[in-house]
A and B are shown apart, each in its own frame.
Chain A
Amino acid sequence: MGTKVTKSKAKTGSAGKYPLNETKQLELYQKMAECRALQQRAHDLFMQNLVKGTTHLGLGQEAIAAGFGAAMREDDYTFNTYRGHNHNYVRGVSMTAILGELMGRDIGQLRGKGGSMHITDTTKGAMGSYAIIGAHMPIAAGAAWSAQYRGTEQAAVCFFGDGTTNIGTFHEALNFAAVWKLPVVYVCENNQYMEYTAIGDVTAVPNPAADRAASYGLPSILVDGNDAEVMYETAMAALEKARSGGGPTLIEAVTYRHYGHSRADPGKYRPDEEVAEWKNNRDPVPNYRNKLLAAGMDESKLAAIDANTEEMVDKATEEAKSSGPPPDEIAFTDVWADGGAAWRN
């Protein structure tokens, strides 16, 4: 049983402070469409037994990454969890590199040394995908501290799931960031299940992040995480606050994952009608497409994005598949700054 989310509780619609022109709207749609195609392809490759290890998909959660991706500055920092393909992709990490990493190919973003749960591209500000729940929350605070000390007006954005709100680092990081007024934005993607258990069954408050904000002197922010425009506006406000010295923001974005926790999980603990409701009526990608059309967007522009996305993901898949496994020698590199693994003379 999932947390009941009502539209009246979640913020919807445009606040108007950060107007979206057509270019920005198309960017939001494009980012979501590409994330969707990438994740769907990762799923399909897994089913073909081409993905090594596990993978955690963010299908259904694209609007949050897209909203932030469209709002962030190039030199901002992203920290995310193992369910992080969307967040990395919207910062500019290549589809080929992500799919290649999932398939354990040499062309993979980390040449197979990280895997699906650890996609990182520091050249894009994608500062890593972390697979220990909550571990990255203080690390994001540290990157924000660094930006504050260096006076760069960069912000760090840290994405995490609803389950993270019950682990110690969540509380340590928020208190620390609030006391030091750090330019960090914490984004709880409440997809309503911590792994296989409904978050409401194991959490003392109905809204796992928003209801805790007061403990750190922060406003409670609960938004519709399946509305890309709401996410964009929420991101813009939080980033502006961070850059202007206003300190951290904690956002709870309500969403839903279309598949199970990982590819090992069919997600059967969720009621069929709940899954159907979110997939059929509250899917952020087609909903945004329909919204844009209803507002008068020229369909050919959206169709062009759709066609291009399909082509991109096919090309990335072929590129990744054509790469072989990494060479043996890289197993023994990059433990230390000297490039090697030696611990003795």
Chain B
Amino acid sequence: MAQLSYREAVAAAIAQEMRRDPNVLFLGEDVAVAGGVFKATVGLLEEFGPLRVRDTPISEQAILGAAMGAAMTGLKPIAEIMFSDFFAVCWDTVVNEIAKARYMSNGQHECPLVIRSANGGGARFGAQHSQSIENWAMAVPGIKVVAPSNAADVKGLLAASIQDPDPVLFFEQKSMYGTKCAVPEGDYVIPLGQANISREGSDVTVVALAAMVPKALKAAKILQEKHGVSCEVIDPRCLVPLDTKSILESVSKTGRLVTVEENPRLCGWGAEIASIVGEECFWNLDSPITRITTPHIPLASVDVLEDLMIPSVDRIVSVVSEMD
């Protein structure tokens, strides 16, 4: 297996699917000639040419509308929204058009498309370029929501998202683009809706997503070594479809649940998981469910303040070590 960065895995997955299926097209701002502002799509224009890899104007509604129209008429477009914050200027296209087309048309419309976007904080870009909006997406019936935590999952899940017959919002955590791991070569697909047990443990279930996964894993190591607490770290990888089975099984075993969420607190994805566990697994709990989140606050730009807001390894260690 080759060591690939998170950003290289993005290009690898798109290339894999574009080679497989001539109906896969890719469009977005600065994605073709420049290879993306995060350099995640370098080389695609050269391999697949300007008819399949296209730069667009700064017109997010046009980008997503065009992707939808192409998807409805037999193609499999991948669209990039440069920063997930910009979904706010094209949310109508996602929520009212793409998500509802199949249902409102009584099953006539198909929208097999992927919208990739750089999500989350850690890059010190301030409140309009750092948000974690996966919980916005999760709140809309009709779209699937994927948020990988490492390069191997980027490749496998992005390939699965492109192959999926439903619309998928694919959130790439922007502070992770440079992180590397071993990534399977050749065609590689991870089915959507399967959580990954990133670390096995027996005392507490820690559910973490995207950039919170490596933090949870570091915290788990410290908790084991310094506090003798055995954490099971679960990375759902997809919020929709959600692998509740893996989470419920784990909590049934450990008796404790902690969620680690980068999204702001109110209606974060962990609240839904806490609700499901509370309803379906209550009698197996030995301790109150605990959520570790970014506070309900816009993110500050400067590193010292941003680091106070986004859940840290220290916060996870501190919260988990104090659980009953």
Contacts and interface: CB of A to CB of B under 8 A. Distances in A.
Interface string B56-86: 1101011111111111111101000000000
A138 B66 contact: yes
Contact of A339 (B104, B107, B110): B107
A109 B96 CA distance: 20
Contact of B59 (A121, A150, A175): A175
Interface in B101-135: 101-110, 112
Contacts of B70: 142-143, 145-146, 149
B164 to A, nearest CB: 8
B242 interface: yes
A132 B104 CA distance: 14
B165 interface: yes
Interface string A84-125: 000000000000000000000000011101100010111100
Contact of B73 (A121, A147, A335): A147
Contacts of B105: 110, 113-114, 118, 120, 122, 128
B307 interface: no
B200 interface: no
B242 to A, nearest CB: 4
Chain A interface size range = 35 or more
A20 B96 CA distance: 41
Interface in A27-65: none
Contacts, number: 157
Given A146-B75, A176-B56, A336-B166, A135 B103 contact: no
B51 interface: yes
Given A146-B74, A176-B57, A344-B241, A335 B69 contact: no
B108 A149 contact: no
Nearest to B79: A142
Interface string B126-166: 00000000000000011000000000000000000000111
B232 to A, nearest CB: 18
Contacts of B109: 120, 122, 127-128
Interface string A303-345: 0000000000000000000000000001001111101011111
Contact of B75 (A77, A113, A127, A149): A149
Interface of B: 25, 51, 54, 56-57, 59, 61-75, 77, 92-93, 96-97, 101-110, 112, 141-142, 164-166, 193, 240-245, 276
